[in-house]
Structures are given as structure tokens and as C-alpha cells.
Structure 1
Amino acid sequence: MQRRAWKEMAVGAVVPAAVVALWQFVCMQGWVNPQVLPSPLAVAEKWLAYLLPLQPYSGEGSRLAWMFSGELIGDAIGSLYRVVLGFLIGAGLALPLGLAMGASARVYAWFNPLIQILRPIPPIAYIPLSILWFGLGNPPAVFLIALGAFFPVLMNTIAGVRHVDGIYIRAARNLGASGSTLFLRVILPAAVPYILSGVRIGIGTAFIVVIVSEMIAVNNGLGYRILEAREYFWSDKIVAGMISIGLIGLAIDVAMNRLNNYLLRWHRGLEN
């Protein structure tokens, strides 16, 4: 199993490695302006400076100079804090509402029109109102993230509950299961794959929203640092920040995928 995983990783690294090699070749040939598209080596150098902590060094005679900013870890922690807090709020509200709407036709009829009106509105459209309501700092960013995570979890939870196989429900009722037992022992476990899919999508959406919100409402985080680099036209730092976002997003997705596989190890679709 471990050998197979390493083989899959090696195969998956072929295309990114080829893209990076082509990128470096184009930059070495001088076909693009380095201010517009810095080379991978320049980006890697800036990424290391972005990652490593501030260190003094002696240069230019006796004057003490400084190298490396070490901002990446602090920015990543700030972004992840907002993602986790906003996602917990959004998913915490969406999950019980989705279960209720999926299990009760009456509750679904009450809330579905409002949900269908609000769902197409992107969280970015709420930025002016979020700043007006919450000011600047973490609160508007957390609000936008919670909004972005709310609807994927809600819609997948509703779909999971409403698509439970009727055979299971009829069998449980024939065996005398009460309403609460039917919900907890049949409907909820059958809906778990849908719910976890919604959670995975919701976290991805939350991470996208946090980058946008940090460009507007806060003064730290990965999104803020990219905006700062744009103001000074530090294209290598912009790309380094983008790569950092991609790596963190990949780590989150891999972690969620493994968690889903662990929680759904009983599911027949994951037996092989």
C-alpha cells in the first residue's frame, strides 16, 4: 500500500515538474520580463526569505543589516485561524438546518425559498455590508468565511438526508423503529457520505474566501501579504504567496480526504 502511494505521488509530480522546467527555460531565455513573470529560482529564493525568521547579518562595513522576514508562518497561522473559526460557525449552523430540512417536508417548505434566493449570491458581494456591520479586522473576514462554508454543507446535508434509500427506511419501520431511532440509526449514517463531501467543499470554499477577505478587511494573512506585494510590484513575492496558498490548500484537501476515507471505511464504495 505504501509503495503504491509513493508511486502515485511520483506520477503526480511529473506534470508539475515539467511545468516548472518549462517556466525556468522561458525565463532563462529572456522571453518574458522578470518583473511580469519571475523565474522559479527567484520565486524559491523569495519563498525561503518569506518563510525563514528574521536574522541579523553584518554587511556594508560595520552597519547591521537584516535578511529574511519570516512572515509566512505568521500569515499562514492567521489565515488558518480565520478559516477554522469561520468554517466551524458556518458548518455548525448549516448541519442542523440541513438535517431538519432534509427530514421534514414542512421545514423544507419554510426555509427553501429563502435559501434558494441567498445561495447564488457570492460571499464577495457581502464585503461592503460585512465591513459596515463588523468594521475591520477578523469579524468581517470570519463572517464571509462562515457564509462561504454554510451553503455547501447545507445543500449536501439536505441532499444526503433526502436521498436515503427507501428500502432502509421501510425495513426500519417494519422492525418497529421509532422516529428518533430511524433518524439516528438509519437516516443520519446513510447521509454521512454526502455531509462529508459538503464539509470538504465547504473548507475549500472557506479557504478561497479568506484570501479575498484578507485583501480588504485585515492587516495580516496570506491574502494581505499578496496585496502588499502587489502595491510594491514584488511579483516574486506574489507568486511565492500563491504557491504557499496552493500548498496549504493541498494539505487541507489531503487531510480531509484521509479523514473521509477513515470515517467511511465501512462504505462499500471504499472497500477496494
Structure 2
Amino acid sequence: MLKQHWRGRWLRQILRHSSGLMVPVVTVALWQLASSLGWVNALVLPSPWAVLHKWFEYLAPTAPYDAAAGSKLAWLFSGELLRDALGSMYRVIMGFVIGAGLALPLGLLMGASPRIYGLMNLTVQLIRPIPPIAYIPLAILWFGLGNPPALFLIALGAFFPVLMNTIAGVRQVDGIYLRAARNLGANQRTLFLRVMLPAAVPYILSGVRIGIGTAFIVVIVAEMIAVSNGLGFRIMEAREYFWSDKIIAGMITIGLFGLAIDLGMSALNNHLLRWHRGLEH
């Protein structure tokens, strides 16, 4: 019975996710058909097969394997695509950690304290609508070229989604729960740790998910301007040489990484919020 249960569960999971593949598969099929019939210029929009060929060429190691030169793992990761992807992921993670690390305590303070909220809210609302891209000239003036300006822009992109969701999560706690906790003798510290913070966790995780997505968008823009490697840089380099197949291969790689990050965050949210979903159902 247990084996049948798990088999049925896996089958349902496969069917649920396979339905989402219908649109990409149909799109690629139509794209290949249009390319085969000559309806589009191959220099402007190469066929899916040409893009796939370029993607594997982009992924492949740059030199034949030489056991004397180093380990096989290092050789496998010597491909241009993997090096660019690792560089981009490093910037995303570091920039997000900086931005979220600053936003989370500030958001908790602003959400829990009306005085701090009143002091900081006007400044936050003034700066928040400015897109990180607008800071590019200042970032280059302040930090020069390389990783520092890119990390600054990514941290800025991740900061506000985490901040605003954290504030909203703390401030939305039902007053009934707060009054009940006070009536049971809870002090301010206990009230914050045992009532406000757990209630705010779903909002915080939603902000983290949005913040990571924003960080990944910003890193591509930053690499196009201030960095000499990474997926964004490689796309701009391909544009200069009119390598449309490499541009699309890089875009697909970005999409795959973005999908992987989103699926990972969704799984993390589901794991951490099991208690919350249990209350809802």
C-alpha cells in the first residue's frame, strides 16, 4: 500500500509539472517551423537547433582534457558558460545577503515601532521608486568597475522587497492576538518574538523570494555595464559581434537559473511554512 501511495504521488507530481511544459514545447515547435520555412532571418532569429548547438558549444570546456594540467572537475568547469554562470551566481548571492541583511532588521524595527516607522517611512518611500538601474552612474563613480558596483546595485535591488514585506508582515498582526498575549502576561520582547515575528514569517519569505528574483535581474544589467565577465557581459559581447544564437543561449541560461532559484525558494517556503498552511487548512 505504501509503495502504491508513493508511486501515485510521484505520478501526480509528474502530470502536474508536465502540463506546464505545453506552452514552451508548442512555442519552440512553432519557432522551429518558422525557421525551417524561411519565414525569419536566421541572423536575427536563429533556429532552436542552432541555439541549442551554440548552448552546448558555450557549455563545453575550452581546451582538451589534460590530466597533468589539473583535476577533471576543474576541467569540466572551465567552460565559458559555467564560469559566467558561477560569476553571476556569486554576485547574486553576495548582493542579496547584503541587501536582505540590512533590510530585515530595519523592517522588523519599522514594523514593531510606530515611532521608528514614522521617522523612516518618508525616506523609504522617497527612495523606493528609484530603480537600481538609475544608480549605475553613481555606482561606477563611487566604486569603479568590477564586483563592488555590481554588488551595490544587487543589494539595492534586493533591499526594498524584503524591507516592505517585513514591515507589512509585522504591522498586519491582528490586534486580538496582541491583546490576548498581553492579558497572559507577555512582555514586549516575548510579544515580538512569539507573536509578531512568527506572524510575519510568510510575508518575510515572500519578500525574500521577490528580492532574489530582483537581484538576478539587476545582476544581468550590472554585468552589461560594470563587469568584464558573467552572463550579462557575455550577452553584450555577443551583441557586438551579432551572435544572435549566443545571445539567445545566454538568455535561456538566465531563464533556467531564474526558474531553479524560484523553485528552490518555493520549496523552502513550503517547508518552513508547514505550520502556517496547517492552520489555514
The Cα offsets for residues 12-62 of structure 1, whole Å up to 9 and x where unpaired, read as: 1111100000000000000111000000000000000011112459xxxxx
Residue number in structure 2 paired with 1:93: 102
Which residue matches 2:70? none
In the alignment, the residues of structure 2 paired with residue 79 and residue 254 of structure 1 have an alpha-carbon distance, to the nearest angstrom, of: 18
Please identify which structure carries the higher helix content.
2
Is the 1:101–1:111 contact (alpha carbons within 8 Å) kept by the matching residues of 2? yes
Tell me which residue corresponds to 1:111.
120
Normalising by the residue count of structure 2, what TM-score does the alignment of the two structures yield? Answer: 0.91
SS in 2 for 1:220: coil
Task: Write the distance in 2 (CA, Å) between the matches of 1:194 and 1:173.
Answer: 23
Residues in 1 aligned to 2:268 and 2:102: alpha-carbon distance in whole angstroms: 21
**Residue equivalent to 1:33:** 41
SS of aligned partner of 1:115: helix
CA distance in 2, matches of 1:254, 1:159: 24
Letter in 1 for 2:122: P
Give distance in 1, aligned partners of 2:133 and 2:49: 34
5+ residue gaps, structure 2, are 1-8, 66-77
Structure 1 alignment gaps of length 5 or more: 58-68
Distance (Å, rounded) in 2 between the aligned partners of 1:176 and 1:105: 22
1:262 to 261, 265, 271: 271
RMSD: 1.4
Does structure 1 residue 43 correspond to structure 2 residue 39?
no
Task: Give the TM-score, by structure 1 length.
Answer: 0.94
Aligned-partner residue type, residue 130 of structure 1: A
Is 1:180 equivalent to 2:189 in the alignment? yes
TM-aligned CA distance change 1:191 to 1:226, over 3 Å: same
Match of 2:73 in 1: none
1:231-261 superposed Cα distances (whole Å, 9 cap, x missing partner): 0000000000000000000000000000000
Q: Distance between the aligned counterparts of 1:87 and 1:224, measured in 2? A: 20
Give 1:270 deviation, angstroms. Answer: 8.0
Aligned mates of 1:73, 1:150 — CA distance in 2: 27
Runs (4 or more) in structure 1 with deviation over 6 Å come to: 269-272
- One of 168, 181, 185 as aligned partner of 2:177: 168
Between the two proteins, what is the percent identity of the paired residues? 74
1:90-169 mapped onto 2 (5 Å cutoff):
90-169=99-178
Q: Does the 8 Å CA contact 1:214/1:224 hold for their aligned counterparts?
A: yes
